[in-house]
Chain A
Amino acid sequence: MGFFSSGYPRNPAKIADFGGNGGGFWRAQGLIGGVRNFSGEPVSRESLNYDVVIVGAGPAGLSAAIRLKQLCREKDVDLSVCVVEKGAEVGAHILSGNVFEPRALNELLPNWKQEEAPIHVPVSSDKFWLLSKTRAFPCPSPFNNRGNYVISLSQLVRWLGLKAEELGVEIYPGFAASEILYDTTDKVIGIATNDMGVAKDGSKKDNFQPGVELKGRVMLFAEGCRGSLSEEVIRKFNLREKGQGQHQTYALGIKEVWEVSADKHQAGSVLHTLGWPLDSRTYGGSFLYHMKDRQVAIGFVVALNYHNPFLNPYEEFQRFKHHPAISPLLEGGTVLEYGARTLNEGGYQSIPYPVFPGGAIIGCSAGFLNVPKIKGSHTAMKSGMLAAECVFRTLREGSPLEAFWDSLKSSWIWKELHSARNYRPAFEYGLFPGLALSALEHYIMKGRSPWTMKHGKPDHEATGEAQLFRPIDYPKPDGVISFDVPTSLYRSNTNHDHDQPAHLRLRDPKIPELVNLPVYAGPESRYCPARVYEYVADDSSHLKLQINAQNCLHCKACDIKDPKQNIKWTVPEGGGGPGYTIM
């Protein structure tokens, strides 16, 4: 699905400028839930019916699709399964560390090795360092990665996509599910894809195409962390309160894949660090995984409940790479790809009730990531598989879909997340108390503590006021090890047709200038890893928010961290966004 912009060849290094009113020009039509038409008349849309419609071709979505088709084969029946994916191809929006635990894959596709899954590099060493500005202190590794592999999740998901298509799943990349369809009883009966070919001002272009409605007897939302439709459904049906009760907490992960010189490369080598450059009140750390073909995945994760509004996760990552224990590895290497994505850190306490009238939420849209293990792919896949089994019974026997909740609670996902539940909350007290409590949890209590710690404030409320903090003086990138944002962004292969409405919507267009800038010094201009948000002086030297939506990496950090929750991430035209291949 090659999308061709109507303009001249795009200069990737230039940051596109549009939406100069901060998106405020956006007329009040449908700020929430996707706009359907722009001239007032109802647009008639084609409607397609399936047994199951899955939003998102990621590990959870594809595992669910594959499991459904496997069950069909076992019982000699057929169900039509359709997967819509907003990325231009399956895998284009998939980013993860990734040290992969094959537990769920072994259950789903036991012959994955013979079928040439892109899983080749077993973990060969597991190191854990505490960093100070100049030194690295090795610590006992809290992980047990024996039997796990260093992979590119984007590559694995592409392979899963092929397997799904072989089984008869229909996958449609390049189509963004932007609207949830309800019937008169408020049951979710389908989704509608974006209208395509809409100009920036909302008018229809020459190649306007109305969106398509995909209706399913059961809907599965597998959009990944902070999925836009999943969040709508969670709010509408109060799924957080009905579930484990706590709000979700998040982190932002920024990653680069490097090609390094052969003498520095050790396939399977796994390293995690804590400490520098973050301070003791900010949770986060780095990862460095050696893949095959001299490729190294290096990344930095910052929990989004950080307090200092001047913190810039991207710059923290860039200066981390200059640490004397890290930079030698990267010298002489080249960066192949760059990207960023938020991830769930709420764990057990934050799991929402995943079933709503008409469907269920699976994978990271619900949130099954095991924080101390830093792994969520295996639990996401398993949640998809469990959902598929319940959906199959619902469609064939009429049993209630609510059984999915019980199925989750009696699975290994639950056991795993339960024993991992107290690690992340311990860091509310700071880095060293957190480490101490984690050591207690890991070595002494072994996950059997009788208490369950609570999370702190929601991430967006944790940002402190700018007057209480000092700006951080980040070093300039040297262009060899560290880079500026436009250079990195170019490596993400991200693009959107520039002539479309800005997909980042402000609920109240005045808030950035009234609150974000004066009170918090415009944190969105710092946490966004794609430089989408910039405060630019206009003719009267007045700083105004400029939204460069074309740069967006679909990481959802703004939707999570905006102090007044004023920024709403909605899905742009399908086919846009990053083009990850080895992330």
Chain B
Amino acid sequence: MVAIKRVIDYAVKIRVKPDKSGVETSNVKMSMNPFCEIALEEALRIKESGRASEVVAVSAGPAQCVDTLRTGLAMGADRAIHVEFPGTLYPLSIAKILKALVDAEKPGLLLLGKQAIDDDCNQTGQMIAGLLKWPQGTFASKVVLDEENKVATVDREVDGGLETLCLDLPAVITTDLRLNQPRYATLPNIMKAKSKVIKKLTPQDLNVEIRSDLEVVQVTEPPKRKAGLILSSVDELIDKLKNEARVL
């Protein structure tokens, strides 16, 4: 099972709404989150190598999520499930929804992108692993499945370099940039995907209560960079740091 998210396309210039309540999303191009594309590509490769029987793409969000799911179907996913919810969904809510879906579908592997490029939370994969009590391999740059022993060997990109973990299946893996290069959805596949049925559910169907413990109060642009000053002596530097920047 692959969880995918519909986000603002990575090439679009982001703008904060005039009322500072969030980022402008109307009239803006949306696409599948790039890390989710990588996760889906990995799932498809696992299926093509015979180690999985089916790839199911799932997404939670407003009605337009079906566009992203159709792209997933066009890339090669067998089925798609859309959990419709019009408001904002934070990682914990998504994780709870995913848990309900995993309990129902019982996949052998859950793949997600490491983070979404709109909120950069990097939490959903870790949270769902916790809720399911499954092992997790995050920031995966290489995944090798051993079906005989039912383990996955995952190379993780960590601050110090690469870490190799061996996870018992079923497990949660979140994907990083260098894992693979996603395939293009071909025109014939896009055509076929248009007529595939996407299963629609609501959080109530899954007995998940969407409760937000977070509230976004304000979104602002970063302050404009001020020009630098060239100082003439160390004394002047100390004076400015003490009296103007007030860091001493």
Contacts and interface: CB of A to CB of B under 8 A. Distances in A.
Contact of A491 (B13, B29, B32): B13
Contacts of A9: 10
A209 B12 contact: no
Interface size class of A (residues with CB under 8 A): 35 or more
Nearest to A155: B27
Contacts of B185: 1
A89 interface: yes
Given A2-B32, A170-B191, A207 B10 contact: no
Given A170-B191, A581-B29, A493 B186 contact: no
B4 to A, nearest CB: 10
Interface residues of B, number: 30
Interface stretch (B95-103, B131-139, B176-184): B176-184
B190 A172 contact: yes
Contact of A579 (B29, B190, B191): B29
Given A2-B37, A92-B29, A212 B181 contact: no
B186 A2 contact: no
Interface in A332-348: 336
Name, among B12, B27, B181, the residue most crowded by chain A CB atoms within 10 Å (CB to CB).
B27
A380 interface: no
A183 to B, nearest CB: 21
30 contacts: A1-B31, A2-B9, A2-B10, A2-B32, A2-B34, A4-B34, A8-B177, A10-B11, A12-B11, A12-B13, A46-B186, A46-B188, A48-B188, A48-B191, A88-B9, A89-B29, A155-B27, A172-B187, A172-B190, A197-B183, A206-B181, A209-B184, A212-B186, A212-B188, A491-B13, A493-B13, A495-B11, A579-B11, A581-B29, A582-B27
Interface string B165-201: 0000000000001001111111110110010000000
A205 interface: yes
Interface string B27-43: 11101111001100000
Given A2-B71, A89-B29, A207 B34 contact: no
B20 interface: no
Nearest to B182: A4
Contacts of A533: none
B200 to A, nearest CB: 20
Contacts of B188: 46, 48, 212
A207 B29 contact: no
Contacts of A209: 183-184, 186
A9 B194 CA distance: 31
Nearest to A46: B188
State the majority secondary structure of interface residues on B.
loop
Interface of A: 1-4, 6, 8-10, 12, 46, 48, 88-89, 92, 155, 170, 172, 175, 193, 196-197, 205-207, 209, 212, 214, 259, 336, 490-491, 493-495, 579, 581-582
A56 to B, nearest CB: 16
B183 A207 contact: yes
A197 B187 CA distance: 14
A214 B187 CA distance: 10
Interface string B50-76: 000000000000000000000100000
Contact of B187 (A48, A494, A581): A48
B242 interface: no
B103 to A, nearest CB: 30
Given A2-B10, A207-B181, 15 more contacts: A3-B184, A6-B181, A12-B11, A12-B13, A46-B187, A48-B187, A88-B9, A88-B29, A172-B191, A196-B184, A207-B184, A209-B183, A212-B188, A259-B18, A579-B9
B30 to A, nearest CB: 9
A109 B37 CA distance: 38
A6 to B, nearest CB: 5
A193 B187 contact: yes
Nearest to B117: A9
B207 to A, nearest CB: 32
B15 interface: yes
A336 B15 contact: yes
Nearest to A259: B18
Interface string B1-29: 00000000111110100100000000111
